[in-house]
Amino acid sequence: MAPIDDEARQQILDDDNLRLLRIGYFISAGLTLIGAMIVLVYTIFLSFVFAQVAKTSVNAGFPPFIGRLVGALGVVVVLVLIGLAVLKFLAGQQLKKRRSRIFCMVIAGIECLSIPYGTFLGVCTFIVLLRPTVERSFEDVHS
């Protein structure tokens, strides 16, 4: 059995690391979608509760627009979470194709805000994507 040279060993390591990052971004996108659905259910529940409170306490001075405000803020949060999930999924796809390295790094920076799992995934992404061998492999695809 012939020994593997350093370049081939590094290529295997880079391929494996990019595959693991891709899986991590797909998991993160799925968890973000689950979180968006939980926020949506919670928003619907709170909107209903505030609407009922506003109906029953007409003379108590409870503002009736609170339910609509909670609903609107909840919908905005859900839309932002769905957008982040889509971006994470796209980052995983781009890692597979070895394209859009800068896009993947931007998403990694955003992912770093999700403590603790996202921070770990984002930092690992930076470590892998800043390797010269990985950088060259992203450039080779465009050639």
Identity (one letter) of the amino acid at 33? L
Identity (one letter) of the amino acid at 48? F
pLDDT of residue 41: 96
Q: Could you report the per-residue pLDDT of 100-139, keeping only the tens digit for each?
A: 999 999 999 999 999 899 999 999 999 999 999 999 888 8
Q: Could you report the per-residue pLDDT of 22-40, keeping only the tens digit for each?
A: 999 999 999 999 999 999 9
pLDDT of residue 61: 67
pLDDT grade for 50, boundaries at 50, 70 and 90:
confident
Element (H, E) at 49: helix 6-56
Q: What is the spatial distance between Cα 49 and Cα 93, in angstroms, rounded to a whole number?
A: 41
Q: Could you report the per-residue pLDDT of 95-105, keeping only the tens digit for each?
A: 999 999 999 99
The percentage of residues in the chain with a pLDDT greater than 70, rounded to a whole number, is 92
